[in-house]
């Protein structure tokens, strides 16, 4: 009998529960095949619960979630709830409370998937963004004065701690070593303008780099990073960056890898409880239609198994995704896959 993993499943809002269900389907297939057990517990955190109860997260949420080995999340974001409430109250709260200080976002173009970048193929688009996930502009530092008056002042500060920056950079170097591809880490920053924050990042980067003589270093400003991601994505292996830049460049990354339908990510606390999610939103307009692409959620499930140490199972899921996109799907876009949400889940689960 293999190991047992306790997984908290948060379907969330909109199409979140649908894609999470397909992820769970594939997880179960992998558990059968690779001889481990899953103890799944559903959590109803999200917009509907908020509208019913008036609370975004119950007081014991963090305590309950930390009883699990990992969290599997569908999507957060409800059309009837003002933007920001659920995102900050659930997603960001959990990232912070569980100290998930890494947001790991692979950008991989699978064979036969369309990329908007002319003349680039799977051999060119294969890198990963290590986004700092608990600090920067997301820390919530700042405030407003004289709100609603002509003298209004709004300040939003970027918090960068040596500890937070260094652990993120170190994770990136370790990851480049583990990936064992180009063995290169690119720091994405803005040292020419944000001379306080990225001075800290730059110094930490080159100091940590000394511990990794086998890994090449590279630096690009964030604007240039956007340019190179489109022009020469093959230059990248591991990109490390702050929270805000990481948020922006990973949506660009999702587009060059074929869209939100396939983009997965992990909110990782290497010493604690990590949370895996498709990086696209809840896409409420597609809710209940069985047309949303579940592959990003399935990819998140794959990352979760890899993180838990089930690397064989993770590889089997990755290969199954590759096969499904190469041989079966017409497109990765919702409603154009040639299959429904559940059928895509069946295909991947069957291939596993």
Stretch 221-260 residues interacting with Mn ion (CB under 5 A): 247
Cβ closest to ligand IPM, residue 87 vs residue 124:
87
Q: How far is the CB of 150 from ligand IPM (least distance, A)?
A: 30
If binding is defined by CB under 5 A, does position 132 make contact with Mn ion?
no
Stretch 238-257 residues interacting with ligand IPM (CB under 6 A): 247
Could you give phi then psi for residue 275, rounded to 5 degrees?
-130, 130
Q: How far is the CB of 174 from Mn ion (least distance, A)?
A: 24
If binding is defined by CB under 5 A, does position 126 make contact with Mn ion?
no
Q: How far is the CB of 87 from ligand IPM (least distance, A)?
A: 4
**H-only helix segments in 153-242:** 162-179, 197-209, 222-231
The DSSP-derived string for 225-284 is HHHHHHH-GGG-SEEEE-HHHHHHHHHHHHHHTT-TTT-EEEEE-TTS-EEEEESS---G
Cβ(108)–Cβ(125) below 8 Å: yes
If binding is defined by CB under 6 A, does position 87 make contact with ligand IPM?
yes
Stretch 267-296 residues interacting with ligand IPM (CB under 6 A): 279
Q: Is 324 in a helix, a strand, or coil?
A: helix
**DSSP conformation class of 81:** S
Q: Which residues pair with 138 in a beta bridge?
A: none
Q: Which range, of 84-92, 111-119, 163-171, 175-183, touches ligand IPM by CB under 6 A?
A: 84-92
Residue 291 touches which member of ligand IPM, Mn ion, none, C-beta under 5-8 Å by kind:
none
86/140 Cα distance (integer angstroms): 15
Cβ closest to ligand IPM, residue 90 vs residue 351:
90
Q: How far is the CB of 105 from ligand IPM (least distance, A)?
A: 8
152/142 Cα distance (integer angstroms): 13
Sign of the Cα pseudo-torsion (72, 77, 82, 88, in order):
positive
Binding mask 266-305 for Mn ion (x = CB under 5 A): ----------------------------------------
What is the bridge-based pairing of β-strands 274-278 and 70-75?
parallel
Q: How far is the CB of 349 from ligand IPM (least distance, A)?
A: 26
Q: Is 330 in a helix, a strand, or coil?
A: coil
Cβ closest to ligand IPM, residue 92 vs residue 172:
92
Residue 87 touches which member of Mn ion, ligand IPM, none, C-beta under 5-8 Å by kind:
ligand IPM
Binding site for ligand IPM (CB under 6 A): 87, 91-92, 247, 279
Binding site for Mn ion (CB under 5 A): 247
């Amino acid at each position: 009998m293999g190991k047992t993993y306790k997984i908290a499943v948060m379907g969330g809002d909109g199409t979140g529960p649908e894609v999470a269900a397909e992820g769970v389907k594939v997880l179960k297939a992998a558990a059968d095949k690779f001889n481990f057990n899953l103890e799944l517990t559903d959590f109803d955190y999200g917009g509907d619960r908020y509208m019913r109860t008036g609370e975004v997260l119950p007081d014991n949420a963090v305590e309950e979630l930390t009883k699990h080995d990992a969290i599997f999340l569908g999507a957060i974001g409800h059309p009837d709830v003002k933007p920001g409430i659920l995102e900050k109250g659930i997603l960001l709260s959990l990232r912070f409370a569980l100290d998930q200080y890494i947001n790991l976002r692979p950008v991989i173009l699978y064979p036969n998937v369309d990329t908007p970048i002319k003349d680039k193929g799977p051999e060119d688009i294969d890198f990963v963004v290590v986004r700092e996930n608990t600090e920067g502009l997301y820390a919530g530092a700042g405030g407003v004065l004289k709100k609603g008056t002509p003298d209004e002042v709004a300040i939003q500060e970027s918090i960068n701690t040596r500890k937070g920056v260094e652990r993120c950079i170190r994770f990136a170097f370790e990851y480049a070593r583990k990936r064992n591809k180009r063995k290169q880490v690119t720091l994405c920053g803005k040292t020419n303008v944000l001379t306080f924050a990225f001075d800290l990042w730059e110094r930490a980067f080159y100091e940590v780099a000394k511990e990794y003589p086998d890994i090449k270093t590279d630096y690009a400003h964030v604007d240039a990073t956007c340019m190179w991601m489109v022009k020469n994505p093959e230059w990248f292996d591991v990109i490390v960056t702050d929270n805000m830049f990481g948020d922006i460049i990973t949506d660009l990354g999702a587009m060059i890898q074929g869209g939100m339908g396939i983009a997965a990510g992990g909110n990782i606390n290497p010493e604690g409880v990590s949370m895996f999610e498709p990086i696209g939103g809840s896409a409420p307009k597609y809710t209940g239609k069985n047309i949303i692409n579940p592959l990003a959620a399935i990819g998140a499930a794959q990352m979760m198994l890899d993180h838990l140490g089930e690397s064989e199972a993770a590889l089997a899921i990755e290969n199954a995704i590759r096969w499904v996109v190469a041989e079966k799907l017409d497109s990765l876009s919702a409603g154009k896959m040639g299959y429904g949400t559940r059928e895509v889940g069946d295909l991947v689960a069957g291939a596993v």
